[in-house]
Amino acid sequence: MGKATRDAYGEALKELGAVNPDIVVLDADLSASTKTQVFAKAYPDRFFDTGIAEANMMGVAAGLAAAGKIPFASTFAVFGAGRAYEQIRNSICYPKLNVKVAVTHAGLTVGEDGATHQMLEDITLMRALPNMTVIVPADAAETKAAVKWAASYYGPVYIRMGRAKVDDIMPEDYTFQPGKSYEVCEGSDVTIIACGIMVAKAKEAHDALLKKGISARVINMASIKPIDEEAIIKASKETGAIVTCEEHTVKGGLGGAVAEVLALNAPCPMAMVGTEDTFGQSGKADELLKVYGLTAEHIAEEAEKLVQKKN
């Protein structure tokens, strides 16, 4: 097991701060949890704790961006994408300001904090906004690469991270490119497209399917918007079946984004693994993932069904 993506975020901010004096970080009184405290300790004059006032934080970030700074605004996903949605829409995306909204504690793996804190709709909200880039890194290496890319790009970026430790998936020298996916496993019978913590589970599903004689391609789709249309169309034509996996609602998230590409370009049998039309509940992270079907076993089952349907 590797480190949590939020830990990699804190490290990346500190590294960026050392080479770029325009990097500033804002937090809504959660710096110990979002790991922005790592940056705060190193560069206290460039760190701003705005308190439990997320909407105001986004406005302050917009002002700093308008003044030429590169602000990273951090809080939990439910407060960043949810409570501050209007400010992100009107103060950041509409004028296309150079603000990076980097959120942690997304999805069911927030665990015992329960439904109120388990943000399962943020990808849908953020990818619907014009000018917004949406990234869901799979592990620590990809988080660092995505954060460093975001700092070099001019425009709004939403980076979605989790609370728990995750398996290492990507090579250490990985370079993030928006609109480009990464093929984790080769396969010819079915394609599993995943993001975030579900990439590791997709890889487990690949191994389980291989024992049954099913060859599953696994694609890490960290760039939700822009999405890698070329890889999706290629997968549809070459494998003829696609399963999407996300720690998020299937309504408008990764599954919805992939379905849009398929419907317009290369339709094929498809299944979506994620939460349905429901909120989460309090519980241990691993137990919640099982309750909501976000497991390698469920991914493998859905993939096997599609292969049978295709044949």
Active site residues: 54
Residue 128 CB-half CA count within 13 A: 13
Eight-state DSSP code of residue 84: T
What is the residue type of 261?
A: V
Tokens at residue 71, please?
Answer: 């602000």
Per the DSSP assignment, residues forming a β-bridge with 182 are 220
Backbone phi, psi, residue 31, to 5°: -65, -25
Q: Are 268 and 242 in contact (CB under 8 A)?
A: yes
- State the burial class of residue 55 (Cβ atoms within 10 Å of its Cβ: 0-12, 13-18, 19+): middle
A 10 A CB-CB count for 45 gives 6
Whose structure tokens read 């009184």? 29
CA distance 97 to 82: 19
Residue whose pair of structure tokens reads 């997709």 in the numeric block: 202
Q: Which of 213, 191, 208, 209 is nearest to 273 (CA)?
A: 191
| CB neighbourhood size of 242 (10 A) | 27
CA distance linking residue 215 with residue 230, whole number of Å: 21
Answer for the pair 156, 133: CB distance below 8 angstroms, yes or no: yes
Nearest CA-CA partner of 74 in 27, 138, 134: 27
Q: Which residue has the tokens 């590294």?
A: 15
